[in-house]
Structure 1
Amino acid sequence: MRRGLSRLIAAIGIAALAGCSGTEAAITPPPGVPDPVGCGSVNIAVNPWSGYSANVAVVSYLLEEELNCTVGTVELSETASWAGLVDGSIDVILENWGHDDLKKKYIDGQKVAVELGLTGNKGVIGWYVPPWMARTYPDITNWRKLNSYADLFKTKASGEKGQFLAGDPSFVTNDDKLIENLKLDYTVVYAGSEDKLIAAFRKAQANRTPLLGYFYEPQWLLSDIKLVRVPLPNYTPGCDADGETVACDYQPYDLDKIARKKFVDSGSPAATFLKNWKWTNDDQNKVAKDMTQNGLSAEDAARNWVDANRTVWEKWLP
């Protein structure tokens, strides 16, 4: 998944994509370029979570096997991925979690990027405890009760306050300000990566140790351990607009794709394919679990999914 496989470029035809609305890209062959046009190269940003890696595995496999594209991948944080759309090092971000500020900057302002449609995945971010805690302390899922349990969550890393365990520092998060604005006696401690966050929740459930932390879906772990969400004050549109005063839960996300405008305007069949690509949380979780838990390489995990879902991915082809 995190390497590009060089392949010969074959000439293929382009099917023009029908018009679209808003800022979402329409893909047509560029003026003066004869039809058919080859796929060429596609550079994909790789953000640091397993669901994103599953996206890359399947998309890369089909771009190479079905369209004879040359796929390159670059490991970047979410924000750095957008900067790559400016310098041309990145052609597409496969899973974008909101980032209205970056859309305003790069799509509306600099006009170097375009929306490429939804991925089909529903994104949820929130605060969670392992299921044993919800059974043992039924009111721990009431955020107003969290201060009464703060001592339970103290660690060496959190000092005199309860620990709130976050994941990778580059992930979308409001947790520092949520803790401050909701007047909770906790401090954020970063696990450092998705793998370490998952390991912490696994250990907490297996050993019945206290843990309150950041988690999200789609995520394959939730099929193994039914983490219990701690609802925060209800999200309403705009309640998180000011990062300094945010005091509401995370918004639900319809995850989308972002592409470099010049890549889309080139008329590449890869751009059409990426616009058409759309799958479910279950699809992503299956591939991610094969890659992280079942010992499969990204290529083998992608091949398994592709072999079992031909009627799904054939609709993505130009």
Structure 2
Amino acid sequence: MIKTPKLLATSSAMALAGLLAANSAAAAELGDVKDPIKLAVLEWTGAQVSTQLAGMILEKAGYAVEYVPAGSFPQYSGLSDGTLSATVEIWSNNVGDIYPRALAAGDIENIGSLGLETREGWAYPRFMEEVCPGLPDWTALKEPACAAALATTDTLPNGRLLDYPADWGSRSAEIIADNDLPLTAIPAGSEGAMIAELRAAQATHSPLLLMFWGPHHVLAEIDLGWVEMPPCASDDPDKCVKLPEVEKVVWSGFADKWPAGYEILKSFQVTSSDQEKLMAAILEEGQPLEEVAAGWIDSHQDVWQPWVDAAVD
């Protein structure tokens, strides 16, 4: 049947009404798109990468986003009163006592893991498995030949473990003593000094054992092995080396104000490999954070688009 102008007008009006209704439903699911979601920007590059990615994805969904510099501990006050909306990279070994209190009070909500595969412990360049046969088993470090290969004039007859800088604190010396290992922990002068020595050891095949962690940008460059850590004899878990969780936290009113954004952040994940590559581009190549993050967004639409679609459909 051929439609008359009147029927066409009616049909068009109905289509327009349906479109407006659909847009209204989507807006209701998005929540407040005018008031920006304020993401905490923490001190370290990895967290800044994660936060920038999360913000760009929220913007793709239609939200306004602000990036607010925040300290690791002060951020919890802002999250509790809503002056900060969310933080996407909280390491469980660096939360103090404010975080658990705010969580217990219901002022903030933990919305799950960021997805990073964290590492911490004694690490070594892969060639060390030839120098100390038996690695990554920690008992390989007991062998006299292994200790001799790692020894320096400062540690003879023990082998040297390059430890965290002194002002970071460390658990290595106590673990060495508890397990009667022929090692001496020597603090590094700085993170930069640790990285420089690691690169030199890799280039010259000089024996090296060091306390380290991941994700770290140098791991995009050097493949490290990780010692299966010896037992920790202490009753204090803070004196033991354990893998931290990395989690996402939002203000308690986030889900009501930005429902779809809440679902997007719950789904949001970053792999350690991706974060390390992005950090390396920023720290080693001098590329701007925003450009590096935008490149990931452009090349990983198949990763993040389903999070957005599931949240706003």
Normalising by structure 1, report the TM-score. Answer: 0.69
1:43 and 2:39 are equivalent in the alignment: yes
Name whichever structure is richer in helix by fraction.
2
Of residues 101, 115, 121, the one that matches 1:120 is 115
Code of the residue aligned with 1:257 in structure 2: it is: K
Residue type of the alignment partner of 2:161: F
Residue 106 of structure 1 corresponds to which residue in structure 2?
102
Task: Name 1:26's counterpart in structure 2.
Answer: none
Aligned residue pairs: how many?
280
1:273 aligns with 2:264: yes
**SS in structure 2 opposite 1:71?**
strand
1:83–1:128 CA distance, 2 compared to 1 (3 A)? farther
Aligned to 1:94: 88
| Kept in 1: contact 2:89–2:246 (CA 8 A) | yes
Q: SS at the partner of 2:223?
A: coil
Distance, in Å, in 1 between the alignment partners of 2:165 and 2:84 is 22
Q: After TM superposition, give the deviation of residue 218 of structure 1 in Å.
A: 3.4
> What is the one-letter code of the residue matched to 2:103?
I
- Percent identity reads 21
The Cα offsets for residues 168-225 of structure 1, whole Å up to 9 and x where unpaired, read as: 77979643542343344422514533x5433331122113333221233334433432
The answer to whether 1:224 aligns with 2:215 is no
Change (3 A) 1:277 1:260: same
For the Cα contact (< 8 Å) 1:122–1:281, is it kept in 2?
yes
Instruction: In structure 1, give the amino acid aligned to 2:213.
Output: Y
- 2:59 and 2:284 mapped to 1: Cα distance? 25
Q: Does 1:261 align with 2:261?
A: no
Q: 1:15 to 1:164 in 2, by over 3 A?
A: farther
Structure 1 residue 229: deviation in Å? 1.5
For residues 79 and 230 of structure 2, what CA distance do their matches in structure 1 show?
36
Gaps of 5+ in 2: 1-23
The residue correspondences of 1:241-256 to structure 2 (distance < 5 A) are 242-243=236-237, 246=240, 250-251=242-243, 255-256=246-247
Whether the 8 Å contact between 2:80 and 2:251 is mirrored in structure 1 is yes
- Give me the CA root mean square deviation: 3.9
Letter in structure 1 aligned against 2:27: G
Deviation for aligned residue 1:42: 0.7
Distance 2:153 2:81 in 1: 43
- What is the deviation of 1:126? 2.3
Change (3 A) 1:244 1:42: closer
Mark the CA change 1:210 to 1:75 in structure 2 (over 3 Å): closer, same or farther.
Answer: farther
Residue 307 of structure 1: how far off its partner (Å): 0.9
Query: Which amino acid in the other structure matches residue 311 of structure 1?
Result: D
Distance verdict in 2 for CA 1:65–1:226, change over 3 Å: same
For residues 63 and 292 of structure 1, the distance between their equivalents in structure 2, rounded to whole angstroms, comes to 25
1:136–1:233 CA distance, 2 compared to 1 (3 A): closer
CA distance in 2, matches of 1:128, 1:230: 6
What does residue 300 of structure 1 align with? 291
3-state SS of the aligned residue for 2:303? helix
Runs (5+) with no aligned partner, structure 1: 1-10, 17-34
Q: Secondary structure at the match of 2:190?
A: coil
Deviations 1:218-276 (A, max 9, x none): 344334322121111379xxx98723764xx534x553212232445543654443223
Structure 1 residues 233 and 157, CA gap change in structure 2 (3 angstroms): closer
Separation in structure 2 between the aligned mates of residue 264 and residue 165 of structure 1, nearest angstrom: 45
Aligned partner (choices 51, 58, 64) of residue 69 of structure 1 = 64
Evaluate the alpha carbon distance shift between residue 156 and residue 168 of structure 1 in structure 2; reply closer, same or farther with a 3 A threshold.
same
Aligned letter for 2:112?
G
What SS does the corresponding residue of 2:297 show, helix, strand or coil? helix
Letter in 2 for 1:40: P
- Name the SS for the 2:113 alignment partner: strand
1:13 aligns with 2:23: no
Instruction: Pick the structure with greater CA Rg.
Output: 2
SS of residue matched to 2:116: strand
3-state SS, counterpart of residue 187 of structure 2: strand
